[in-house]
């Protein structure tokens, strides 16, 4: 009997020693983990952590309008064809990025005027449906803000002077066309096509074929210092007046000859040889509506029409 009790006691002691040598899952004694392994484990946790996404800093447009300032001590003597000089204005920086509103109207119908150049030109050589800003300098600058939304380029004037954005192709002879509208404009607020911008001018020269909210069109030449009126503000029945009306502007350029179209109707022809090649874009400018915005649905061109 005594022997049996001793045997039980000895077995209990042995069992206690065995249990003290075990550990629970997830726990480990200090003697089992090498310090170098512990350090490597902590470094691995850091290196395999979730990466931080850094948003790229918005850059200013490389090719936006820069209005030249005329020194006060150097007067400019206008020549005979100087009709509409523009006094340079030092615009204020916009406080916030404008937020265009309103709902776009549908694009012009497929019915073409008899004089519409696209009837016989075939497929265009280049088309931008404004699904994104890949072809344009983006971001906010001193004169304009630009955004691409719902298949439209939305170019907003930040000051009371003309501002523009220019895309990359350089053209010689061409037919250029764009469909435009404004959700809010008044009177002589204007917008339209900028073309034949010389490559060495940093978008500081070119022709402006524009329309106003009250139903007039014009053609001007900007030389970096003064604006020359080649065709003064002119009414035409082909032009759709008012807010949210869609107008298709087109220009044929063959050497010095410039032929202007509105909604497929030929409205004027003129010769001017100051700029014979260059880039193109969209301009907007007005004093009646704050943050005047032009919405561009599509722009395209044909070479050597």
DSSP notation for 88-103? ---PPPPSS-----S-
Burial class (CB in 10 A: 0-12, 13-18, 19+), 153: buried
Structure tokens given for 214: 């009250």
Segments making up each domain of the chain, as ranges: 129-303
Whether 136 has a pLDDT exceeding 60, the answer reads: yes
Query: The domain at 129-303 falls in which architecture?
Result: Sandwich (2.60)
pTM: 0.66
Residue-wise pLDDT tens digits, 166-209:
999 999 999 999 999 999 999 999 999 999 999 888 888 999 99
Radius of gyration of the chain (CA): 34
Whether 296 has a pLDDT exceeding 80, the answer reads: yes
Q: How high does pLDDT run on average in the chain?
A: 76
């Amino acid at each position: 009997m005594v022997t049996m009790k001793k045997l039980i006691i000895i077995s209990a002691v042995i069992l206690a020693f065995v249990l003290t040598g075990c550990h629970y899952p997830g726990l480990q004694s200090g003697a089992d983990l090498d310090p170098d392994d512990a350090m490597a484990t902590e470094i691995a946790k850091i290196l395999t952590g979730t990466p931080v996404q850094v948003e790229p800093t918005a850059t200013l447009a490389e090719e936006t309008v820069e209005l030249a300032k005329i020194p006060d001590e150097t007067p400019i003597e206008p020549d005979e064809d100087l009709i509409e000089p523009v006094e340079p204005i030092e615009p204020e920086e916009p406080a916030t990025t404008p937020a265009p509103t309103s709902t776009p109207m549908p694009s012009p119908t497929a019915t073409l005027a008899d004089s519409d150049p696209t009837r016989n030109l075939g497929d265009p050589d280049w088309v931008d449906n404004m699904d994104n800003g890949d072809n344009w300098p983006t971001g906010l600058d001193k004169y304009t803000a630009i955004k691409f939304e719902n298949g439209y380029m939305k170019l907003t004037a930040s000051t009371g002077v003309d501002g523009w954005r220019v895309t990359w192709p350089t053209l010689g002879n061409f037919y250029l066309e764009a469909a435009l509208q404004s959700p809010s404009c008044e009177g002589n607020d204007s917008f339209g096509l900028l073309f034949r911008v010389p490559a060495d001018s940093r978008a500081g020269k070119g022709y402006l074929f524009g329309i106003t909210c009250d139903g007039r069109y014009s053609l001007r030449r900007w030389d970096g210092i003064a604006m020359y009126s080649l065709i003064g503000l002119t009414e035409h029945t082909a032009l759709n007046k008012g807010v949210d009306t869609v107008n298709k502007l087109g220009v044929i350029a063959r050497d010095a000859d410039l032929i202007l179209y509105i909604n497929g109707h030929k409205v004027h022809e003129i010769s001017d040889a100051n700029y014979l090649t260059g880039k193109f874009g969209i301009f907007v400018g007005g004093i009646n509506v704050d943050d005047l915005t032009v919405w561009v649905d599509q722009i395209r061109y044909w070479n050597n029409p």
